[in-house]
Amino acid sequence: MTILVTGGAGYIGSHALIELASAGFDFVVLDNLCNASSEALQRVEAITNKCVPFVLGDIRDAGLLKQLFADYAINAVVHFAGLKAVTESVAEPLRYYDNNVHGSQVLLQAMVEAGVFNLVFSSSATVYGDPVEMPVSEACSVGRPTNPYGRSKLMVEDILRDLVVADRRWRIAILRYFNPVGAHESATIGEDPNGIPSNLLPFITQVAVGKLPQLSVFGSDYPTNDGTGVRDYIHVVDLAQGHVAALCYLQENAGVHTWNLGTGQGYSVLDVVHAFELVSGAKIPYRLAPRRAGDIAVCYANPDKAFVELGWSAQLGLERMMHDAWRWQKNNPNGYSNK
Ligand code: NAD
Ligand code: UFG
């Protein structure tokens, strides 16, 4: 079975390639490298000892997609390609809707024309907005994401639900990721953000290697144990394995299916800082700062549905997430431009 992996050179996509390869799937990667390096794919080749076919291009390029579906006998698409920076999405909403929503539409149209109806889509816990119950399950209502990035994910989810009503050939998995962190155990691939990281873990690891002076903890007056925000951090390798489980499920089941991919365990910002310090031996200087606009107090998954239906659950705990994130950063202080 051959999978088209859009955004396969990115953080989650590159980890997914390894899990797909070890599960016996063939694949071809489509990525425009707007937020990734082809070096990541070379490292995936070294880890898997397998050639990674790569097409440099954009999901919005209908002609290229047509050619790609003609050139490769693709059975399914795992669609990671997208822009993901929340603050940037507030500043440049049109760019986000164009890339994430229009890009997905062009891809879906090309799939229809090629007769490919199997899709795994990267969604996000952000579609729950400020969830009304915790832990948040798939049965919780979606809506009111707090930024254009989140709304772009919800719009694509809505398009996918509409598609399945219109055409019963579709088999679609919507995966709502919680907070992916960590890196492959080889420490040769990992998260390589452009500029100053906006996410917690890359910020911490860059403080640890001395690239940034101190962490700002956004909010210390939330109604949580220590006043800092609580999230469900999930090891990127566990997350990647969830995609293999979803692809296998789609082989047996038509329709649209939605799963939370999280651990079910919430940790505060200070829990994460302390766990990182323990594992790395590094001291993370921090200051308590005002809340970040758009942040919610607490968000962690009820992951039961994925366990029951996919037989998937996260295996790697917080300590391992910190360990792998630290090894990646230590060995690659400048990410993929290290060589
Ligand atoms: P990433 O930026 O590392 O990977 C996305 C990849 O898509 C990059 O390689 C980028 O070059 C590529 N890309 C972007 N637009 C493209 C386009 N128009 N055509 C072709 N390639 C394009 O991000 P990631 O963390 O690996 O995220 C993967 C997916 O998961 C994204 O859709 C993201 O929104 C979603 N997601 C991520 C998180 C997270 O915290 N990392 C959480 C929830 C959902
Ligand atoms: N935080 C800090 N300091 C920082 C960065 C983050 O205190 O420098 C705090 C945040 O306030 C929050 C927690 O750390 O309480 C996690 O923040 P992240 O930015 O790492 O992650 P978010 O939960 O805000 O958002 C992430 C992704 C989104 C995705 C969402 C749900 O960035 O794309 O998880 O999946 F939608």
Q: Pick from 4, 34, 328 the residue to mutate for probing ligand 1's pocket: most ligand atoms within 8 Å of its CB.
A: 34
| Beta carbons of 17 and 40 less than 8 angstroms apart | no
Give the C-alpha separation, 203 to 190, whole Å.
Answer: 14
Q: Say whether 174 sits in a helix, a strand or coil.
A: strand
Give the C-alpha separation, 191 to 181, whole Å.
Answer: 8
Is the shortest distance between the CB of 180 and ligand 1 below 6 Å? yes
| Beta carbons of 310 and 246 less than 8 angstroms apart | yes
Task: In the chain, count H helices and then E strands.
Answer: 12, 14
In angstroms, what is the C-alpha Rg of the chain?
Answer: 19
Is the shortest distance between the CB of 11 and ligand 1 below 6 Å? yes
Q: Pick from 12, 179, 201, 215 the residue to mutate for probing ligand 2's pocket: most ligand atoms within 8 Å of its CB.
A: 179
Is the shortest distance between the CB of 60 and ligand 1 below 6 Å? yes
* Tens-binned pLDDT, residue by residue, of the chain (339 aa): 999 999 999 999 999 999 999 999 999 999 999 999 999 999 999 999 999 999 999 999 999 999 999 999 999 999 999 999 999 999 999 999 999 999 999 999 999 999 999 999 999 999 999 988 999 999 999 978 989 999 999 999 999 999 999 999 999 999 999 999 999 999 999 999 989 999 999 999 999 999 999 999 999 999 999 999 999 999 999 999 999 999 999 999 999 999 999 999 999 999 999 999 999 999 999 999 999 988 999 999 999 999 999 999 999 999 999 999 999 999 999 999 843
Question: Which ligand approaches the C-alpha of residue 202 most closely?
Answer: 2
Give me the amino acid identity at 314: A
Residue 8 burial (C-beta neighbours within 10 Å; 0-12, 13-18, 19+): buried
Q: Which residue's CA lies nearest to atom 22 of ligand 1?
A: 81
**Over the range 110-145, which residues count as b (16 or more CB within 10 Å of their CB) and which as e?**
bbeebebbbbbbbbbbbbbbebeebbbebebebeeb
Pocket of ligand 2 (CB under 6 A): 84, 86, 124-126, 177-179, 198-200, 203, 215-219, 229, 231, 269, 292, 295
pTM of the model: 0.98
Which of these, 178, 198, 71, lies nearest to 135 by C-alpha position? 178
Give the C-alpha separation, 207 to 78, whole Å.
Answer: 33
Sign of the dihedral through C-alpha 211, 216, 218, 220? positive
The reported pLDDT for the residue numbered 339 is: 39
Which of these, 14, 80, 7, lies nearest to 41 by C-alpha position? 14
Question: Which ligand approaches the C-alpha of residue 81 most closely?
Answer: 1
